[in-house]
Structure 1
Amino acid sequence: MRTALVIGTGLIGTSVALALAGRGVRVHLEDHDADQARTAASLGAGTDRPPEGPVDLAVVAVPPAHIPAVLAAAQRRKAARGYLDVGSVKGGPRREAEALGCDPATYLGTHPMSGREISGPLAATADLFEGRPWVLTPTPETDTEVLNLALELISLCRAVPVVMDADAHDRAVALVSHTPQLLSSLVAARLEGADETAVRLCGQGIRDVTRIAASDPGMWIDILSANPGPVADVLAAVAGDLEETVRALRALESADETERTGGAAGIEEVLRRGNSGRARIPGKHGQAPAAYETVAVLISDRPGELARIFADAGRAGVNIEDVRIEHATGQQAGHVQLMVEPSAAPVLTAALRERGWAIRQQ
């Protein structure tokens, strides 16, 4: 791949362009908003001047509802040898593209499973896709050259290719992406009218659950409008679980001991199922999830503190598998939660204490 055309210079399109440009591909940028294309070009994502002839690959990076029309227009003007889109929904746009007469041989639907809570070219990074799954949904009509171009693009973006059926993909993202976004927003919405005293008690748990609730509503309306059925199916199942959970909680209020016992069993069941589901989420490098020990360290909000604690862990010969920061309310301090192999936890704890760090007992 020597040349590419990226149509749509939002977060995903500009990130693709940055990755390709950084690896020697000449990238042309196109957007209905010329200012946005110029912004992406100024970041080093390519040029906003049109190519002189067909490029090797055109990447359609527009909202799902616009993919068919944009793809059809690009194919009509013979903009590229091959075409792919990077939309988050695959089945519906592909069927609409076929209805518009798009050539299925030169087009491949794809979806990089990566993003951020903020959108636009200024949020883009060349490493957005590194190590992340990138779904391809080829059909029997897909030309081998186009599939190879897509695989080369994924390699240049340092992502991991995953082949799926388009409709199976849409059901999967409804479960692991689209429904979590709505549930995060629903929980965060409870805070909108909450008492200020309650809001000040927010800890790491509520921050984790509501992190993606900061996402752009307009972007998510586009996504959900393209995949409403599968998302509604998952939400309906969640709603059934919620009704059962509400009944179990009401039973815990009862004066009848039998009802309270049944209520406790119902709550335990949903928590157990949650444990089981959480355990299925892939762990580090896509491997089976590992059980790590947490070492919580009190840290002040000063420059260089995180670097110092990581350096001390390195001197102790301990690899930090994961890290989280829990900020203290009303103080310039917090706790860094260092996740390590269970056998390394006592070693790290002793080493950090020796170097003057305060360890919080878990």
Structure 2
Amino acid sequence: MRTAAVIGTGLIGTSAALALTRRGISVHLEDTDQDAARTAASLGAGTTEPADGPVDLAVIAVPPALVGKVLADCQRRGLARCYTDVASVKAGPRGEIAALGLDTVHYIGSHPMAGRERSGPLAATADLFEGRPWVLTPTADTDTETLNAALELVALCGAMPIVMDAADHDRAVALVSHAPQLLSSLVAARLEHAEETAVRLSGQGVRDVTRIAASNPAMWIDILSANAGVVADVLDDLAVDLAETVAALRALQAADEGTRREGAAGIEAVMRRGNTGQARIPGKHGAPPTRYETVTVVLGDQPGELGRLFGEVGALGVNIEDVTIEHSTGQQVGHVQLAVAPVAARGLAAGLRERGWGVRA
């Protein structure tokens, strides 16, 4: 691949363009919002000048409902030799593309499983897709050249290709992305009119659950509109579980000891199911999940403190597998939770204490 076009310079489109330009690909940017395109260009994502001839690959980075229309326009103009879209829903756009009678030999659907709660070109980063799954949904018509172009795009962006059927993809993302977004928003919505004293008690648990609730509603309406039925099915199943959990909690308040035991058993059952489900989420580099030990370090809110901590962990010969920062409300300190291999945890805690850090393992 030497040349590419990116149509749509939001978070995903601009991030893909940045990744491609970093690899030496000439990228031509298009967007109905000229300011967004110019902003992406100013960040080094490419040029807003049109290509002299057909580019090797056009990446259509628009909402699902617009994919068919934009692909039709691109093919009419002969913009590229091969085409892909990066919309987060695949079956709907595929159906529209077929209904429009577009060329499906040189088109392949795709979806990088990456994003942020922020949107727009200013939120884009060249490494957004590094190590992330990137789903490809070829049809029986998709030719080898187009598949190879999409695989090269994935490789240039540092992602991992996964080939799936479009409908299977939509069911999967409803479960692991779309429904969690709504659940996060529902939990965060409970905080809207909560007492200030309650909100100030917010710890890492509620921060983790509500992080993605900061996402752009307009963007999510576009996504959910294209996958509404499947997401509703997931939420229907969750509603059954929620009703059973509410009943179990009510039972814990009962005067009868037998009823209380049934309530406790119900809560334990749902939490154990949660343990089992959470353990299935892939771990580092997509490998089976690994259980790490957590070493918590008290960190002052001064420039360079986090870098100094990481440097001393490295000097102790310990690899940080994951890190979480929990901020203390109203205080100029935070707690950095370092996930490390179990065999390294005790030595790391002792080594950091010797260097003057406040540590609890």
Compute the TM-score of the two structures, normalised by the length of structure 1: 0.98
Look up the match of 2:226: 226
Deviation, 1:108, is 0.3
- Aligned-partner Cα distance in 1 for 2:291–2:276: 14
Alpha-carbon deviation of 1:335?
1.0
The equivalent of 1:170 in structure 2 is 170
Which aligned segments of 4 or more residues in structure 1 are displaced greater than 2 angstroms?
none
| Pair 1:113 & 2:140 matched | no
Correspondences of 1:41-190 after superposition (within 5 Å): 41-190=41-190
Structure 2 gaps, min length 5 = none
8 A contact 2:349–2:360 mirrored in 1: no
In structure 2, distance between residues paired with 1:158 and 1:339 = 24
TM-score (normalizing by structure 2)? 0.99
State the aligned residue count: 361
Would you say the 8 A contact 2:17–2:27 is kept in 1?
yes
Shift of 1:342: 1.1
1:301-320, aligned counterparts within 5 Å? 301-320=301-320
The aligned residue for residue 296 of structure 2 is: 296
Counterparts of 1:294 and 1:126, CA distance in 2: 30
Once residues 122 and 310 of structure 1 are traced to their aligned partners in structure 2, the CA distance between those partners, rounded to angstroms, is 28
TM-aligned CA deviation for residue 287 of structure 1:
0.8
Deviation at 1:233, TM superposition (A): 0.6
Amino acid at match of 2:7: I
Counterpart Cα distance in 1 of 2:307 and 2:33: 41
Q: 1:54, CA displacement in angstroms? A: 1.2
Structure 2 counterpart of 1:203: 203
Could you tell me whether the CA contact under 8 Å between 2:108 and 2:142 is conserved in 1? Answer: yes
CA distance in 2 between counterparts of 1:140 and 1:216 reads 35
**Contact 1:298/1:336 (8 A) holds in 2:** yes
State the 1:194 CA deviation.
0.4
Distance, in Å, in 1 between the alignment partners of 2:21 and 2:53 is 18
Tell me, in whole angstroms, the C-alpha distance in 1 between the residues paired with 2:17 and 2:329.
40
Does the CA contact (< 8 Å) of 1:84 and 1:109 recur in 2? yes
Q: Which amino acid aligns with 2:216?
A: D
Q: Whole-Å Cα distance in 2 between the matches of residues 109 and 204 of structure 1?
A: 37
SS in 2 for 1:162: strand
Q: Deviations over 1:212-260 (max 9, x none)?
A: 0000000000000000111001000000000000000000111011110
Q: Deviations over 1:54-80 (max 9, x none)?
A: 111111000001001111111112111
Give the gaps of 5 or more residues in structure 1: none
Q: Which residue of 2 aligns with 1:22?
A: 22
Return the alpha-carbon distance in structure 2 between the equivalents of residues 57 and 317 of structure 1. 44
Shift of 1:3: 1.1
Equivalent position amino acid for 2:341 in 1: E
State the secondary structure of the residue aligned to 2:114: coil
Identity %: 72
Which is further off, 204-213 or 349-358? 349-358
Secondary structure of 2:314's counterpart equals: helix
Give the structure 2 partner of residue 321 of structure 1. 321
Task: State the shift of 1:312 in Å.
Answer: 1.6
Post-superposition shift, 1:360? 2.6
Distance in 1 between residues matched to 2:42 and 2:343, nearest whole Å:
49
Aligned to 2:261: 261
Q: Is the 8 A contact 1:72 1:101 kept in 2?
A: no
One-letter amino acid matched to 1:281:
I
| Counterpart secondary structure, 1:187 | helix
Q: 1:190 & 1:346 partners in 2: Cα distance?
A: 39
CA deviation vs aligned residue, 1:62-112 (integer Å, no higher than 9, x gap): 000100111111111211101100000001110111101111101100000
Query: Which amino acid is 1:192 matched to?
Result: E
